[in-house]
Amino acid sequence: MTYLGQIYAIVWKDLLLELRTRERIAAMGAFAVLAGILFNYSMDQTVVKAQDIAAGLIWMTLVFGGLLGIGRTFHLEAQDGAFQGVLTSPAPKDAVYVGKVTANFVLLYIVALLVVGVFTLFFGLDLGEHPGMLALALALGSLGFVALGTLFSAVSSGTHMGETLLPILVFPLLVPMVIYGVSATGRLLAGRPVADIAGNLRMLGAFAVLAVGVGAVLFRFVVEE
């Protein structure tokens, strides 16, 4: 089916470009590790246990680092007008959006796993009985984040202020994701049963679905010149 083929083409192209340039993954990956180092020196671990606050640290690192990468989503597209070629093709704008979100999600999720891995290493975290649930919570949160971030990255790329505008536009909207994501992660790290986080996962899922849906509808108005 052409629609899926078009989405797949965009995902493949974005990931191939990222593989060739390593622009964003390098920046986000370095951020993750360096943030971990700074966090180590910003906590007095004789007073505060890293395990207790790790959930917040992980998600905030993901948000700040993720925004670095997501802000550059349309950077390579702007060179040589390549994105114009995409926009004037028969690919529907929502397909382009879904493709971009998918590619960004892959990148961000890799970084999310990296953050958890690095923080586990640095702070001796115990990931609890249900690492799969942890992975799921991160995935759902990342998806919602990427959906909003990609939409507003297209917006900020069209302004003079550029990427500096992105935090202002996106951070207020991320509050639900942070609240439910950190809660789910924190509970899992504290060893609580999966039933305790079911509600959080549902909210994260709803947030992600809503974000992707709204983004798919609104993207065409954002890229129109």
Residues that bind other proteins (CB under 8 A): 2, 5-6, 8-10, 12-13, 16-17, 20-21, 76, 79-82, 84-92, 148, 151, 155-156, 158-161, 165, 168-169, 171-173, 175-176, 179-180, 183, 203, 206-207, 210, 214, 218, 220-222, 224-225
Of 85 and 132, which CB lies nearer to other proteins in the complex structure?
85
- CA-wise closest residue to 184 among 220, 130, 113: 130
Q: CB of residue 115 vs other proteins: minimum separation in angstroms?
A: 22
Q: CB of residue 37 vs other proteins: minimum separation in angstroms?
A: 29
Q: CB of residue 85 vs other proteins: minimum separation in angstroms?
A: 3
Alpha helices in the chain (DSSP H): 2-21, 23-42, 50-70, 75-78, 82-87, 93-123, 131-157, 166-170, 175-189, 198-223
Compute the distance between CA of residue 107 and CA of residue 21 in angstroms, rounded to an integer.
Answer: 13
Of 4 and 121, which CB lies nearer to other proteins in the complex structure?
4
Compute the distance between CA of residue 185 and CA of residue 219 in angstroms, rounded to an integer.
Answer: 31
Compute the distance between CA of residue 66 and CA of residue 60 in angstroms, rounded to an integer.
Answer: 9
Compute the distance between CA of residue 185 and CA of residue 68 in angstroms, rounded to an integer.
Answer: 23
Of 44 and 224, which CB lies nearer to other proteins in the complex structure?
224
Q: CB of residue 150 vs other proteins: minimum separation in angstroms?
A: 12
Handedness of CA 176, 181, 112, 210 (dihedral sign): negative
Of 113 and 210, which CB lies nearer to other proteins in the complex structure?
210
Of 7 and 118, which CB lies nearer to other proteins in the complex structure?
7
Q: Nearest 5°: phi and psi at 67?
A: -65, -30
Q: CB of residue 106 vs other proteins: minimum separation in angstroms?
A: 17
